[in-house]
Amino acid sequence: MTYPFELKSLNYPYDALEPYIDATTMELHHSKHLQTYVTTLNGALENHPELHGLTVEELIAKLDELPEAIRPVVRNHGGGVYNHNFFFDILKKDVPSPTTGPLLEAIVEAFGSFEKFKAEFKQAGLTQFGSGWAWLVTDANGKLSLLKTPNQDTEIPHGVKPVINVDVWEHAYYLKCQNRRPEYIDNFFSVVDWEKAEANYLKR
């Protein structure tokens, strides 16, 4: 996808993740918050036709080469588009946690067990101060690690590939969980599409 960027449709209705993530939050998160990032990014790029052929990933990767005036918008709103599209794509209810396969093997190697991974991932999300993201990422050799990014920063500058991420901005959970971020992250684990996560891991 290149300029003009469009709001990417979800693969499921807004109520598909109930009761773990409520329909109202999903609708506002997607149709309002993500739409704002898309609209603002397009506005920043409108008068820069030389950038219209770049994907959002390419724009973020080339951030230091962009005109100085639009760098903050691309970082924040381009990052918002990228992070949210990835996040929404790895959500699906009733996909069981992996019991075999390359991703599980890599998780056990990196964290000791799947339960220890979940605990460490949750802790990463809880300790991201303020707004931001927690990520499970892989390097080119298949080694997994955790990453935290503030605001709408992405994993792209770190030279790793994302497997899953969780949005810990308050707009992702406040209507249902209020200030209870731990509860939200626990709920998140009930709607991870582990089949998609495995595919993300394998395409590193």
Given this model, what pLDDT does residue 98 score?
Answer: 93
137-157 residue pLDDT tens: 999 999 999 999 999 999 999
| Pairing label, strands 161-167, 144-150 | unpaired
**In the chain, what percentage of residues exceed pLDDT 70?**
100
Distances (CA, A) of 146 to 50, 65, 118, 167: 35, 28, 11, 14
| Residue 182 and residue 121 in one domain | yes
| Residue 61 and residue 107 in one domain | no
**Structural domain range at position 47:** 23-89
Given this model, what pLDDT does residue 84 score?
Answer: 98
> Final residue of a domain: which of 89, 114, 147?
89
Residue with token string 């390419």:
58
| Residue 109 and residue 176 in one domain | yes
Q: Quick check: 87 pLDDT over 90?
A: yes
| Residue 114 and residue 179 in one domain | yes
Residue 181, SS3 per DSSP: helix
Given this model, what pLDDT does residue 7 score?
Answer: 98
| Residue 196 and residue 111 in one domain | yes
| Residue 54 and residue 122 in one domain | no
5 lies in a domain?
no
d(CA 151, CA 18): 26
90-126 residue pLDDT tens: 999 999 999 999 999 999 999 999 999 999 999 999 9
95 lies in a domain?
no
Cβ–Cβ contacts within 10 Å for residue 47, how many? 10
Given this model, what pLDDT does residue 28 score?
Answer: 98
- Segment 176-193 shows an average pLDDT of 98
CATH of residue 180: 3.55.40.20
| Residue 106 and residue 198 in one domain | yes
Helical pair 114-127 and 102-111, crossing angle rounded to 10 deg: 70
Average pLDDT value over all residues in the chain:
98
| Residue 142 and residue 190 in one domain | yes
Q: Quick check: 164 pLDDT over 90?
A: yes
Domain count for the chain? 2
Global pTM value: 0.97
39 lies in a domain?
yes
Q: Quick check: 204 pLDDT over 90?
A: no
> Final residue of a domain: which of 89, 114, 138?
89
22-61 residue pLDDT tens: 999 999 999 999 999 999 999 999 999 999 999 999 999 9
7 lies in a domain?
no
> Final residue of a domain: which of 54, 89, 124?
89
74 lies in a domain?
yes
Q: What angle do CA 55, 56, 60 make, to 5 degrees?
A: 120
